Chain A
Amino acid sequence: MIDKNEITLVTNKYNELLPLGDRIKKLVEGSPIKNGILYVITKHTTTGITVNERLECLEDDILSYFEKEIPENGFYYHARFLDSYGAMAGNPTGHLKAMLCGSHCIFPVTDGELSLGSAQEIYLAEFDGPQERTVSITIMGEE
């Protein structure tokens, strides 16, 4: 059985880590699937999905790491007019940070609950906000 869901939200900042764990847990609890696998996949190319410990200091360090590796004032090819958009490409850092971050995570669902480790939080990583974002939540398994 496959249970497909989406979470849509408007992010708050240019770059930020938004915890999704509570919302995902509720979806799992409401799902008819009791044992299986959960896939969390972003539908965007300037956001990522990552898992880490939910601490303010770590959130800050993670964002600082991305900023240091991919600085806003770097030289990027993706800074030009795109006919297909009718607009400027202005978000090369968002794309590159998203690539480093990764687009998805996978967790087991056991006896109707999300099997997160005690320190684990699932984050939507915004790298070109604020924007409306959608994350796909798919649960595959048995009732």
Chain B
Amino acid sequence: MVIDTHVHPGFLEELEISDEQLKYAQNMMGLHKTHRIRLEHWEKACRCAEIDKLFLLPLDLTTTTGGYLGTNEQVAEAVAINPQRFIGFASVDPAREDALEVLKKAFVELKLCGLKLHPSKQKFYPDDTKMDKIYELCIEYNKPIIFHSGVSMEPDTLTKYAHPLRFEEVAARFPKLRFCLAHFGWPWVREVCMLMLKYRNVYTDTAFLYFDNPKEFYAQSFGVDIGPYWIERSLRHQVMFGSDEPRLEQIRMIKAIREMNLRESTKEMILGGNALDFLKGGREHD
């Protein structure tokens, strides 16, 4: 089972996004030349990349810019169209007065599998105690959170909100909350390794490419910026494959992961096994 844990649904044509919603997605994500993406395209891309399932990560920006990058309902609709391919996540703007109701509905009625939050875009600090109720709800329903972490290249985003160290208190105070610091918290990859080593409820993903090509960038990030054996020996249960589609591209990203000098069993975990543990809560590893 190969799972891409980081895919943005805001451009999917079958969700019948309006022209206004498309323009909003382009502006909010800074993807100025990305247009509607047909489901047929994703199906073929998944076949080429030998990917079985995709996590769809929408984003609720109602209190900051008055819109959505895919709504929870649209994600549930996509899952209904192709339940074999899609694993739907929810999103909620934490500043909404009805945030808890929205999230509860997403988990109970829409059957979404987790929560996506973007501190830099939604403008909150993850260790703010105002977030506690949301974290408690996720624990109550056994749903993981995928946080954007590290730099964001999207417009109107400040990195200070998503620095990996702003997540330590969350990991410490909510040990039963599984959460992913997406994009490996780049450029703070060592800090993310520290958090994963210290807190086994912290995961990360490989959806990061800011210089060079995927093979070169991963060689720098996983072989120079951190020790070349850190993942293999100590963190292999907590790293998940993610592509950041459509900003980055699945085929070249996953090829670089498959060519990494890791044991096959480690690659299997990164490419899918860890994502399944992340969703449901897997066994603990010493």
Q: Which A residues contact B (CB, under 8 angstroms)? A: 10-14, 73, 76, 79-81, 84-88, 90-91, 129-132
Q: Could you say which residues of chain A place their CB within 8 Å of the CB of B216?
A: 79
| Contact status A86-B32, CB under 8 Å | yes
Query: In the bound complex, do residue A80 and residue B153 qualify as a contact, i.e. CB atoms below 8 Å apart?
Result: no
Show 8 A/B contacts (Cβ-Cβ < 8 Å), sorted by A.
A12-B47, A76-B213, A85-B34, A86-B34, A87-B247, A88-B248, A90-B248, A131-B41
Give the segment of B89-97, B204-212, B278-286 that binds chain A. B204-212
Which of B30, B40, B210 contacts A86 (CB under 8 A)? B30
Identify the B interface with A (CB < 8 A).
29-34, 38, 40-41, 44-45, 47-48, 153-154, 209-216, 246-249, 251-252
B127 to chain A, nearest CB (A): 29
When C-beta atoms are compared, the residue in chain B nearest to A131 turns out to be B41
CB distance from A135 to the nearest CB of B (A): 17
> Which residue of A10, A79, A86 contacts B212 across the interface (Cβ within 8 Å)?
A79
Q: Are B44 and A10 in contact (CB under 8 A)?
A: yes
Chain A nearest CB, measured from B256 CB (Å): 10
Q: How far is the CA of A80 from the CA of B209 in the complex (A)?
A: 9
CB pair A81 B210 closer than 8 Å:
yes
Partner of A85, one of B32, B212, B214, B252: B32
- Evaluate contact between B213 and A86: CB separation under 8 angstroms: no
Q: Which residue of A lies closest to B33 (CB)?
A: A85
Given A79-B212, A81-B210, A130-B45, are A87 and B38 also a contact pair (CB < 8 Å)? no
Q: Apart from A85-B33, A86-B34, A91-B249, what are 20 other A-B pairs with CB-CB below 8 Å?
A: A10-B38, A13-B44, A79-B211, A79-B212, A79-B216, A80-B211, A81-B210, A84-B32, A86-B31, A86-B33, A86-B153, A87-B34, A87-B246, A87-B247, A87-B248, A88-B210, A88-B248, A90-B249, A129-B48, A132-B38
Q: Is the CB of A85 within 8 A of B31?
A: yes
Q: Bound complex: CA of A16 vs CA of B251, how far in Å?
A: 15
Of all chain B residues, the one with the shortest Cβ separation from A82 is B33
Do the beta carbons of A14 and B48 come within 8 Å of each other? yes
Q: Which partner residue on chain A sits nearest B32 by CB separation?
A: A86
CB distance from B167 to the nearest CB of A (A): 25
Most buried by A among B45, B210, B246: B45
Give CA–CA (A79, B214) in the complex, Å: 9
In the complex, which residues of chain B have a beta carbon less than 8 angstroms from the beta carbon of A132?
38, 41
Q: In the complex, are the beta carbons of A90 and B252 less than 8 A apart? A: yes
Q: Kindly report which residue of chain A lies nearest to residue B252, judged by CB atoms.
A: A90
Closest to B215 in A: A73
Give CA–CA (A14, B253) in the complex, Å. 13
A13 to B251, CA, bound (A): 10
Chain A residues within 8 Å of B249, by CB: 90-91
Give the distance to chain B from A50, nearest Cβ to Cβ, in Å. Answer: 21
Q: Which 5 A-B pairs have the closest CB atoms?
A: A86-B30, A130-B44, A79-B213, A86-B31, A87-B247
A44 to chain B, nearest CB (A): 12
Tell me which residues across on chain A come within 8 A of B248, comparing CB atoms: 87-88, 90
Q: What residues of A have a CB within 8 angstroms of the CB of B45 in the complex?
A: 130
A88, B41: Cβ atoms closer than 8 Å: no
Q: Which residues of B contact A88 (CB under 8 A)?
A: 209-210, 247-248
Residue on A nearest B30 in the bound complex, by CB: A86
A129–B43 Cα distance when bound, in Å, is: 12
Name the CB-closest residue of B to A85: B33
Is A130 within 8 A of B41, CB to CB?
A: yes
Q: Which residues of A sit under 8 angstroms from B40, Cβ to Cβ?
A: 10
Given the interface pairs A84-B33, A130-B41, A130-B45, the reply to whether A90 lies near B213 with Cβ below 8 Å is yes
Q: For residue A85, which residues in chain B have a CB less than 8 angstroms away from its CB? A: 31-34
Chain B min CB distance to A87 (Å)? 5
Residue of B nearest to A130 (CB): B44
Indicate the member of B33, B209, B213 with the most A CB atoms within 10 Å. Answer: B213
Which residue on B lies nearest to A87, using beta carbons? Answer: B247
Cβ-defined contact, A130 with B48, below 8 A:
yes
Contact residues in A for B31 (Cβ distance below 8 Å)? 85-87
